[in-house]
A and B are shown apart, each in its own frame.
Chain A
């Protein structure tokens, strides 16, 4: 019947068009100039964006927050060496909504560290934190983030301790801040202090990138500790026997170690001819400072691990 033919034709047309549209869209995504973020930031004045949001600041803040996370995530995954838009994006986000605490946490984790792990702009990170604290004076978490930046990237332990102490004074602050203040004051620069910081970040954040970052740091700390201890064992062995152990098994037997030492992934540590303790797969451990072969450079895509 005629009506049926028309229905059939247009139904088919509907389905075909829908499929074609979706496929084309995927294609277009590939070839669109990646400069879309720069487009977004053509207006990189937070005040102007605020005004043009027509009062829908909160929504725009959420949108910018999403873009920030996407921006960082993509670039980080491909080991980019520049994150020029990260600071402006965070500044815009917090200008639109100064109470968006996760943004500050993100800035603390990723603005300060040098590329490829971050934007390498610790001063802007400091500015962001101060801005955040100014607008959220009751938020002790921000003091934590602030101190975190001073400690981990700027290595200004005195300032870090000060900030932790300020934070501890905020009514309702987690007692942890007081502990951190003391720890920093007395054991600055030690692995144990660093571990406390990263563990705290890992536990308190819900944001994937931040948690991942903290996890990698914790793994690195464990490896650093292990390698330090093992190399002390090697030195002891050397003092006793006057030579270097031939392999790890020998060291284990001679120094009465509990078992073949393994890294957090379960791979045994290697011992090289010069008595250095090495990781079997150094690529799996970004941030590690010890246990790396000489002249090592990280390569390949970033791999993410799920346990420490």
Chain B
């Protein structure tokens, strides 16, 4: 069972690599270098702040785009192209397929983030000329970004299991945007009355809370993050992803393949 999941994950990763998705790293590197050089010249005493903010935001955004871009096709493309037939005619369970795809996609993003992290630290070194202890916070921020990715991957997979790539992209992206404003959604819910309040509050809790996972500003200001926060956010990301994946499995198990 585990072996099959690993093989599917590995194949998914291989597909992403051969799809030249990792070329995005070049665009990222260019962006970051350009910004670093620009900021280094303007030198208004907040170079470090800008590089950290810009770098981490770029890692996050690039990653989300990739996650959605690849994720939406993970299932629907295989159904469309009928590459699934020869896979499912083997002793592979449908749920193993979904879980394997998830790990493959998540793995791709982790690798991608790893390379981007090198870029960020490189740019930081360039503008600040040395590292300081609080810079370790960047690693924590990157960890949180990876947690975000897990959720996005699971959601993209969920949508891919029942809807076309285009619609999946729309849904996934919308949820990302709404999730980033989850705190405000909670605020809106707090000000509403009656039935609307119930619905809004429910939505506010069910939407993936990316604002909780967004510690970029805190890290940029070199604020420390409590261990409890890290632990609970990790658990949240894991449970939320599990929820989305369970949904994907339940849908996919029932799907008649054309």
Contacts and interface: CB of A to CB of B under 8 A. Distances in A.
A3 B247 CA distance: 15
Contacts of B228: 31
Interface residues of B, number: 35
Given A31-B229, A42-B217, A70-B187, A24 B236 contact: yes
B257 interface: no
B212 A33 contact: no
A78 interface: no
A6 interface: yes
A27 B234 CA distance: 13
A42 B221 contact: yes
A20 B226 CA distance: 21
Interface string B206-247: 100101100001101101001011001101100110110011
A21 B236 contact: yes
Given A27-B232, A70-B190, A21 B239 contact: yes
Contacts of B233: 28
A10 B191 contact: no
B229 to A, nearest CB: 6
Contacts, number: 84
A165 B21 CA distance: 67
A63 B187 CA distance: 9
B237 to A, nearest CB: 9
B45 to A, nearest CB: 15
A101 interface: no
B242 A28 contact: no
A190 interface: no
Interface stretch (A11-19, A84-92, A148-156, A249-257): A11-19
Contacts of B246: 10-11, 13-14, 17
A159 interface: no
A28 B229 contact: yes
A32 interface: yes
Contact of A24 (B187, B223, B232): B232
Interface of A: 3, 6-7, 10-11, 13-14, 16-18, 20-22, 24-25, 27-29, 31-33, 35-36, 39, 42, 63, 66-67, 69-70
Which 3 residue pairs across A and B have the least CB separation, nearest first? A17-B243, A14-B246, A17-B242
